[in-house]
Amino acid sequence: MRLTVIGTGYLGATHAAAMAELGFEVLGVDVDPAKIEALGRGELPFYEPGLPELLRKHTASGRLRFTTSMEKAGAFGDVHFIAVGTPQKAGEAAADMTYVDAAVAGIAAAATRDSLIVGKSTVPVGSARRLKEIAEEYAPAGIHLDFAWNPEFLREGFAVEDTLRPDRLVVGTDSRTADQTLRRVYASALTRGTPYISTDFETAELVKVAANAFLATKISFINAFAEVTETVGGDIQTLADAIGHDARIGRRFLNAGVGFGGGCLPKDIRALQARIGELGLDKTMRFLNEVDEINMRRRDRVVFLAEQLLGDLADKRIAVLGTSFKPDSDDVRDSPALDIAGRLYGGGAEVLVYDPKANENSAKRFPRLTYVDSIEEAVQDVDVVLLLTEWQEFKDMKPGDLEAFVGSRQIVDGRNVLDRVDWENAGWTFRGLGLKVPEVVSART
Ligand code: UDX
């Protein structure tokens, strides 16, 4: 069986390399010639741990190749995976389906034999049925195309692991042959006992958005309680630990902080609301508005804490440690950390930024921030240090590591990863998300 993967971003490049690792011959397809050339040379245009090694291994073995030609893809593949993006439409909450529609039409028109098209992108419910019709309309006479929806749950930073060893496989289709073909594609995971959920198109599409909406809600739930502990006192981490011991709740995704970002959670909850609204169920997903708003208020809180510590942002020097939306990624799409850095700059501060992998991507969006290559350079003479993405090297920081460099001993821990007592004992003013700000001592003589 030969596979194609159409779209070679985070999802597609990982899927293509992982399928080659599983022993298939794979052709990756993208409209961007520069990306295709780089991938063909075994070079990954973004940071993802473990993926460069896999890519090099299989471009060298010849099992993984890349092209910009749909014709070649149509002639090559028995199964075509659609892995192009569905970004948020400019100025709207809905997902932009242009790329998925074009990919399905393109590969259907190029097919030279009976084959299977499998959607992996995150799409509004109802898309798979519509896309199946597009495929049938574009298929050359006499060629039969099966259709399936097989959502992807990979997390950035763990993309290779999640693709090679998924925790579940979900396949929505109306074709027995399609289901059997995908069971062969995923045979190694099935042998290990990975749950395989065979269902209809709508359920498969909804599983993906339901999972992401649930995760986003969990994060905003704990962040809403962070707003409460910021007011009444208390410890948000202990609260999360304590409720997390209840197996029905679970501790994961209950870390309060600057909130969720990235290429999936924010846009997926917005697209879900937009789609469900279109279906006339205006009230059904309205709670996701609140989830989004709680999430955005976390950014305001960090800016507020910085302003409170500095009096006024104008002409202050601020260190921002971390701009990627999460550690082990260079992705800054909808990153709370980068947004905060930009707002501080907008308030008149000089912002020194250090991210172990995301400086380059950040600079494309916010060229006016000052990008440096180490913690030491970032904290040089600053009035406050903000830890906004929990990279390991920031979690490992001790007060003594920074004291020779900073102007003032003030730190905001936006991810609840530092030991407050250690920092306060070393004479630092410490602020955290979910932490009550101590009363300001005004009558100092
Ligand atoms: C997510 C889903 O987890 C994945 O299944 C889906 O396929 C794509 O979207 P990803 O975007 O890679 O994956 O990131 P994830 O690990 O889910 O984190 C999302 C955001 O939530 C990050 O900004 C992270 O910092 C934040 N987060 C996560 C919290 O603020 N608190 C937490 O407890 C967990």
Q: HEC states along the chain?
A: CEEEEECCCHHHHHHHHHHHHCCCEEEEECCCHHHHHHHHCCCCCCCCCCHHHHHHHHHHHCCEEEECCHHHHHHHCCEEEECCCCCECCCCCCECCHHHHHHHHHHHHHCCCCEEEEECCCCCCCHHHHHHHHHHHHCCCCCCEEEEECCCCCCCCCHHHHHHCCCCEEEEECCHHHHHHHHHHCHHHHHCCCCEEEECHHHHHHHHHHHHHHHHHHHHHHHHHHHHHHHHCCCHHHHHHHHHCCCCCCCCCCCCCCCCCCCCHHHHHHHHHHHHHHCCCCCCCCHHHHHHHHHHHHHHHHHHHHHHHHCCCCCCEEEEECCCCCCCCCCCCCCHHHHHHHHHHHCCCEEEEECCCCHHHHHHHCCCCEECCCHHHHCCCCCEEEECCCCHHHHCCCHHHHCCCCCCCEEEECCCCCCHHHHHHCCCEEEECCCCCCCCCCCCC
Read off φ and ψ for residue 173, nearest 5 degrees. Answer: -160, 165
Cβ–ligand 1 distance for 166 under 6 Å, the answer no
| pLDDT(443) > 90 | no
Q: How far is the CA of 150 from the centre of ligand 1 (A)?
A: 20
Which domains occur in the chain, in start order?
2-199 (3.40.50.720), 208-291 (1.10.1040.10), 296-432 (3.40.50.720)
**pLDDT tens digits along 125-140:** 999 999 999 999 999 9
Structure-model confidence comparison of residues 443 and 283, the more confident one = 283
| Cβ(156) – ligand 1 distance below 6 Å | yes
Segment 335-358, tens digit of pLDDT: 999 999 999 999 999 999 999 999
Measured by CA distance, the residue closest to atom 31 of ligand 1 is 255
Give the HSE-up count for residue 173: Cα atoms under 13 Å, Cβ half-sphere. Answer: 26
Q: Would you say residue 284 has pLDDT above 50?
A: yes
Read off the pLDDT band of 44 (50, 70, 90).
very high
Question: Each residue of 319-337: pLDDT tens digit?
Answer: 999 999 999 999 999 999 9
Cβ-proximal residues to 353 (8 Å cutoff; 6+ apart), any chain: 319, 320, 323, 341, 359, 362, 369, 370, 371, 372, 378
**Would you say residue 441 has pLDDT above 90?**
no
In angstroms, what is the span from residue 335 Cα to ligand 1's centroid? Answer: 11
For 360-411, how does the pLDDT look when each residue is reduced to its tens digit (9 = 90+)?
999 999 999 999 999 999 999 999 999 999 999 999 999 999 999 999 999 9
What confidence score (pLDDT) does residue 440 get? 58
User: Would the CB of 255 count as within 6 Å of ligand 1?
Assistant: yes
Q: How many A from CA of 155 to the centre of ligand 1?
A: 7
Q: What is the number of the ligand 1 atom nearest to the C-alpha of 252?
A: 33
- Residue 444: pLDDT band by 50, 70, 90 thresholds? very low
**CA 88 to ligand 1 centroid distance, Å:** 17
* Residues assigned a catalytic role: 264
Which atom of ligand 1 lies closest to the CA of 263?
A: 11
Is the whole model's pTM more than 0.75, yes or no? Answer: yes
Condensed to tens digits (0 to 9), the pLDDT of residues 52-75 reads 999 999 999 999 999 999 999 999
Give the model's pLDDT for residue 445.
39
Q: Which residue has the higher pLDDT, 439 or 302?
A: 302
Nearest CA to ligand 1 atom 32: 253
90-104 residue pLDDT tens: 999 999 999 999 999
Confidence label for 266 from pLDDT (cuts 50, 70 and 90):
very high
Lowest mean pLDDT among 157-171, 272-286, 410-424, 431-445: 431-445
Arithmetic mean of pLDDT, 32-44: 96
335 lines ligand 1 (CB under 6 A): no
